[in-house]
Amino acid sequence: MVKIVLWSGLRRFTDGTLEFETAAPTLGRAMSDLVAQYPGLGPIFDQGVSVAIDGDIVPPNPAMALPDGAEVHFLQQMRGG
């Protein structure tokens, strides 16, 4: 299983829940499962998010495999640089 953690500003779209367990094999599948459960997340994800997998901030590649036991943090899109 993989632990998904959303940023707290998304609480209003997820009935207050910010942490999820998922068996989704890929990042894209995990995101689409979340949107299916909480449609309000759709426009947020479409707009762009930043993702950290086990602490490494990576591009949100939908095909990225999620290793068992991983911790995936969604962060509001980082725009600086």
Partner 1 sequence: MAKDTANELRIVGTRPDRPDGLDKVTGRARYGADISAAGLLHGAVVRSPHAHARIVKIDASKALALSGVKAVVTRDDFPTGLTGEAWDLQENTMAGERALYDGHAVAAVAATSAQLARDAAKLIEVEYEILPHVTDVDAAMAPDAPIIREGAADHSVPDGLHPNVVRYIEFGHGDLEDGFAKADIVREHQYKTEAAHQGYIEPHACMGQMGADGKGEMWVCTQGHWYIRKMCTQVLGLDASQLRVTPSEIGGGFGGKTTIFMEPLSLALSRKAGGRPVKIVMSRSEVLRATGPTASASMDVKIGMTKDGKITAGSATFRMQGGAFAGAPVDMALYCAFAAYKVPALQHVGYDVLANRPKAAAYRAPGSPMAAFAVESLLDEMCNELGLDPLDVRVKNAAQSHETSSFGPKFGVIGLNETLAATQAHPNLSAPLGPNQGRGIASGFWFNHGGDTSVSMALGEDGTVTVSIGTPDIGGSRASMAMMAAETLEIPYDNVRVNIVETGALGVNEPTHGSRATFATGKATVEAAQGMIVEMCKRAAAKWGIEPDAVEWRDGAAHPAGPNAGEYPPMTIGEIGAAMSNTGGPIAGHHESVPAGVGESFGTHVVDVEVDPETGRTTILRYLVVQDAGRAIHPAYVEGQYQGGAVQGIGWALNEEYVYDDMGRLQNPVFLDYRVPVASDLPMIDTVIVEVPNPGHPYGVRGVGETGIAPPLPAVANAVAAATGVRMRHLPITPSKLLAAIKASKNG
Instruction: Answer yes or no whether residue 69 interacts with partner 1 by CB under 8 A.
Output: no
Contact (Cβ atoms closer than 8 angstroms) between residue 21 and residue 32: no
41: left (phi over 0), alpha (psi -120 to 50) or beta: alpha
Instruction: Answer yes or no whether residue 38 interacts with partner 1 by CB under 8 A.
Output: no
Q: What is the radius of gyration, based on Cα positions, of the chain? A: 12
Number of residues that bind partner 1 (CB under 8 A): 24
- Judged by CB, which is closer to partner 1: 25, or 64? 64
Instruction: Answer yes or no whether residue 37 interacts with partner 1 by CB under 8 A.
Output: no
Instruction: Answer yes or no whether residue 58 interacts with partner 1 by CB under 8 A.
Output: yes
